Structure 1
């Protein structure tokens, strides 16, 4: 529907959030603190979105620095404005599309330096407020700005002081190119339609090279005049085209009434953005805000908790919130989307397309969490991944962003997401994806990206030589895990011989583990081990890092699927346990060239980055789960806190947060494809999970306190449970899992071979 002055002005009063969010009230329903992760290296944003929404309308304090990958960093001295798309927790910046700047005084087309508000259109800001689905702040020019969102539409409401003001819409809000780079923006357009709607688009070359975004924008008050700018030149007419374009909406008395801006986006075309805008369900800003609040209340009530401290409950609520931001909706309301072949496709009715799959991170815990508490969403995502696998020239996706395969990180871990879903009985056409997956698995001449570098060498040799291939040790092990996942998908597709071949190949991880020293170690093309070797270092020469965002210590335990094979390779339970002990006891020293991703150290264990995050749970495989319990509780209580720097590393599209949620529940998917959860140390006295339909799981730990990290007994539906793990199928059938907690460990619990978790499709022998 069209937004009118009457509908906007009829509901401009402030909405009391405390009265609008009854679902978050009470001791077990803590309100998420959206500032958690916005400082330090968390890289989250505080702006408004809905669960898995296409639009994330949020403040931008900068678009360029490491700290501002999400567009925002807590404590930055100035603000640029409010844009409509953002990434949560990533280590690379992109998006931040369609920037709106509420301004007064002379028109300024450039933002200026971050530490010099007023030099350009940057301003100071204060009085920030953020809740799920809503953000507000007061700008230095006196404008009070509020943000809310629908799935495909962002809402902004700006209250100007009396007198003139203007809205700048900037499609050129990235820096100019540096020497040796191509343009970051090479083609932009803004057009004023006859009905007063602004439409436009731009093509960008940041992370996702050649990504296109389109928008349609409607304002509640007709401007007194509009000027369009192509570069720095004013355009005579209704259309501006250039590499960077801007529009300025001038109001002679901007303060006479609030100005509401409603903006829809589309990756398909401007017509798609207009269709998304027309389909907006809300009649005004406050209605949109109430709907967003309700959407979040419904999503977050899938997990209820009791016990713990006030701050721990807030951290838990926030972690669940962050775990429901991505992947992001990518199909328009008319079902169209851009595939990884850069062509327009339509999803089947009732389904959706998605973007922002950080698969190297999220296959580990985020997707397992969704299969547990949001199975319908998990099914929608895996069906989308099947389609993307069919459409991409590279087969199974690695890191797709807005219709572009970025190839970021290593491996092609969407196969793990699909294999896990298949193992958990989530319905999708896995056989339709298998031909493209098979090409990735066996055809050495199939096209590669950085993530799959030297795949043919891996297929031929069974490992990657450190004197020929960058990140050879990590690549070998992660390619092996993808072999394991592809084996499961081959079996699902009925390709029995392929499955057997891939299962055997998945044990290639051993080829870069030196059993004589019990460490991952670079292997050279002649088959010899790298000598001399220091596992603290990242690589043996400047040209090559031997590991991916890790060193030899952290890469030693990358294997997730063949734990008993690795235990045997290292000489048995005692030696493997000793290696784990050594990892956590080693000095926490890193080389000078270590990336900031290696953070959250306990010894050489790095919780702030993904490769290690299953490692505390490995003690269960040698019959020492009490060590897992102590470590997990320590990580839960020291690596996460209620503060802007409360996430110890990049949240990576919710992976760090999902680790907290799962571990605080007392469960962890060491090998997601195995469809089992290893027990850790539950943080709360009680949790209730909705697990699909009317089924629920209750997790109890009566009397649980900060000084009782150890599990001494477990019951499942009232019966003794001696295993240190539980299968997904058992859990989602519903029931009560009860932990008896203690201040002292019980070495007997989970120690027997029969009680240890399965691995490589079998329990411990």
Structure 2
């Protein structure tokens, strides 16, 4: 069944990219609030990491409920410890590798329940503080815990009160929920090496089935005693220097833990212990925690300086900075310093000297805005991602990437959206070996005997019938539409590599979305194998079957799926009866009662009418008004969403942040434009939130966005100019923006229905303009 979500050392490729970043704009950015998204259903974490870093060192408060997919929730009152890997904003949990628990008193080997911290090694906490690259908290044992990072290592500084204390290393710690059957680790080991380094690893079968993680950990102070514990929590014989099993742990005891702070530096690797040691080695020359912390802060200051804003409210400026921070967390570095990484083919692969491999590509989400944002503000980094996507696409038995995590293709969500950032990058002029990925993309598109995961079920029926029948495959309506979008992206890649016949076949097939949109009633509607439609139809419902898991839409209902089309908007408008009918349908989307059926997943959140801003399928829908010649309605709705759905508070993201997608939507929209179809390589105007924004582009260029006098009372765009010249279009191309210049919005308290009304001024879609 398809799963549903619930400073780098010199000489590396990433260091080269960081050095090549343009200078920051002159406007001083606001300080991010790292606790935004840690409450509600944001599923973010507050700990220390670097942009796209391998290590995410953060506190864990719980592992047994959907609220804590990241391991942390702001409402929790105790901390289990600090683990070295986390996912940001996802709807499924995993990671939380190598838990470190600094504490005092009796040794506890289990965390105990959330409701009773005294029953285990959980600790209540206070004085929590987080900033980019650094985290600090005081635990009830009196330990002050501080965390910072490099790209591949986590650093701890634990300051104990006078007297004895201990540090527990727990390799049994992981995300668990009610769906898990049995124990999820089948192979774990810990060993004390001759030089005093604690090493180990484990294989985990949570979300990314069978992923491996290894570590090498060093301590600034030698413990007075170290003990190892096996699967039954039994202490190994005195003098033991290793343990193996499924639930292994080690405890380091200090007779006077408070004599001096205990520092820990920990390298990790998804390849082997040797890789973890090699990742740690460049940083194992000193014990200066503050040097590492300052270097991390410098990296973040440089990265976050790439976008700066003036105007708006103080809270809105913090939300903007925090959104940019969250948009720079994933994908995460996977390859070791020597270039090795676990390939999707199950083999250890090697990247070229100037490259890197990445993990945590939440592609169903981030192809929409987060990855497009990086093509604008960090094209050098995007080039690294594109090269990596090509390599991993060629290696994967499933072809285009879906949701790869730590060398395992989870296949989560539907479609094979790894083709979208490739097609987008090609359209935006990012040079890469797209031909190397084409055979795997072609196989996924046309070879129906190729191995399937749940994400691509029904491809043969889709090809033969033009749609996925609702009585044959679950989530059929969304599949048909999303497969069509992937065909659209793939057709561009086929044409770019000279596969003209394939490109034409894919282009034609990208029109299959029509076969699940019933133009007579104006809704996306389940269609059966015999060609008939589901009757009686209710757009509020998620499917025609009584089984709660058999849905006809993916994390959506009929209302939201109706507007899923991103690449043929004018075809959709015509199919629905023309401009007026489509505009009225959009009005109805935002005005409908916000009711959902009892079996609706929690992902359908942030409702305005039946529009669900807290989830991805129709996040472009507010911008579709521009295609009907009514961009003033886009402006009003975008301004409303920016101010209502994002707050400077733990619950400040209305739904799962999904590796930065929700945050990237805000960034684009607050700047004043959005990529409805990233492959089209244009941006549709909305309503800028700030009076001025400055974006550092490649080659030292700057994009300045001005909206003088902009305020909460002026959500509408009266006029636009580009580099001092009037601009009548309701959109602008990526090629224009990346040259740099000044985009100026004249804002108004009243709409200007004439702006963008003429067909010649409306955005292109599918390479076409309105007739």
TM-score > 0.5, shorter chain as reference: yes
Q: Against the structure 1 CA distance between its residues 110 and 669, is the aligned structure 2 distance closer, same or farther, given a 3 Å change threshold?
A: same
Counterpart of 2:248 in structure 1 is 245
- Give the match's secondary structure for 2:79: coil
- The answer to whether 1:609 aligns with 2:615 is yes
Q: CA offset at residue 27 of structure 1?
A: 7.4
1:209 and 1:478 mapped to 2: Cα distance?
Answer: 25
Deviation by residue 1:604-634 (Cα, 9 ceiling, x = unmatched): 0000000010000000101000000000000
Q: Supply the RMSD in Å over aligned alpha carbons.
A: 1.4
1:502-513 equivalence runs, <5 A: 502-513=506-517
Compute the displacement of 1:239 (Å): 1.4
Could you tell me how far apart the structure 2 residues matched to 1:732 and 1:190 are? 50
Q: Could you tell me how far 1:118 is from its partner in structure 2? A: 1.6
Kindly indicate whether the alpha-carbon contact (under 8 Å) linking 1:60 and 1:79 is maintained by their aligned counterparts in 2: yes
Which residue in the other structure is 2:279 paired with?
276
Aligned to 1:636, which of 623, 639, 642? 642
**Structure 1 counterpart SS, 2:699:** coil
The 3-state SS of whatever aligns with 2:662 is: helix
Q: State how far apart, in whole Å, the 2-side matches of 1:394 and 1:662 are.
A: 32
1:697 equivalenced with 2:703 (yes/no): yes
Deviations 1:52-92 (A, max 9, x none): 00000000001121011001000202110000000000011
Q: Distance in 2 between matches of 1:178 and 1:685?
A: 48
Q: Which residue of 2 aligns with 1:317?
A: 321
Q: Which residue of 2 aligns with 1:152?
A: 152
Instruction: Check the 8 A contact 1:78/1:116 in 2, yes or no.
Output: no
Q: Establish whether residue 467 from structure 1 lines up as the match of residue 468 from structure 2.
A: no
- 2:363 is matched with 359
Measured in 2, the distance between the counterparts of 1:151 and 1:247 equals 25
Aligned to 1:7: none
Question: SS at 2:507's partner residue?
Answer: helix
Displacement of 1:280 after TM fit? 2.1
Deviations 1:569-614 (A, max 9, x none): 1111111111111111101111111111111111100000000100
Partner of 1:234: 235
Q: Distance in 2 between matches of 1:248 and 1:311?
A: 44
Provide the residue aligned with 2:574 in structure 1: 568
CA pair 270-248 structure 1, distance change in 2 beyond 3 A: same
Q: How does 1:1-40 map to 2 (within 5 A)?
A: 28-40=28-40
Deviation at 1:183, TM superposition (A): 2.5
Could you tell me how far apart the structure 2 residues matched to 1:26 and 1:36 are?
A: 26
Between the aligned partners of 1:355 and 1:322, the Cα distance in structure 2 is: 16
1:47 matched residue in structure 2:
47
CA distance in 2, matches of 1:718, 1:752: 22
Aligned-partner SS, 2:617: helix
**SS, match of residue 173 in structure 1:** coil
Partner of 1:336: 340
* Contact 2:64 2:177 (C-alpha < 8 Å) held by counterparts: no
Q: 1:594 to 1:643 in 2, by over 3 A?
A: same
1:578 pairs with 2:584: yes
- How far 1:304 sits from its partner (Å)? 1.2
3-state SS of paired residue (1:583): helix
Residues in 2 aligned to 1:725 and 1:113: alpha-carbon distance in whole angstroms: 53
Indicate the residue corresponding to 1:764 in structure 2.
Answer: 770
In the alignment, the residues of structure 1 paired with residue 47 and residue 351 of structure 2 have an alpha-carbon distance, to the nearest angstrom, of 29
Question: 2:700 is paired with a residue of what secondary structure?
Answer: coil
User: How far apart, in 2, do the equivalents of 1:323 and 1:170 lie?
Assistant: 30
What secondary structure, in the 3-state scheme, does the structure 1 residue paired with 2:477 have?
helix
Contact 1:177–1:184 (CA under 8 A) maintained in structure 2 = no
Q: In the alignment, what sits opposite 1:625?
A: 631
Long gaps (5+) in structure 1:
1-22
- In structure 2, the gaps of 5 or more residues are 1-22
Shift of 1:34: 0.5
Q: Is the 8 A contact 1:304 1:689 kept in 2?
A: yes
1:448 maps to 452
Aligned partner of residue 350 in structure 1, secondary structure: coil
- Residue 722 of structure 1 corresponds to which residue in structure 2? 728
TM-score by length of 2: 0.95
The alignment partner of 1:118 has SS state of: helix
Deviation at 1:534, TM superposition (A): 0.5
Q: Deviations over 1:287-308 (max 9, x none)?
A: 1100110000010111111110
2:545 maps to which of 541, 545, 560: 541
Q: Measure, in 2, the Cα distance between the counterparts of 1:589 and 1:28.
A: 43
CA distance in 1, matches of 2:75, 2:525: 42
Deviation at 1:542, TM superposition (A): 2.6
1:180 Cα offset (Å)? 7.7
Secondary structure of the 1:417 match is helix
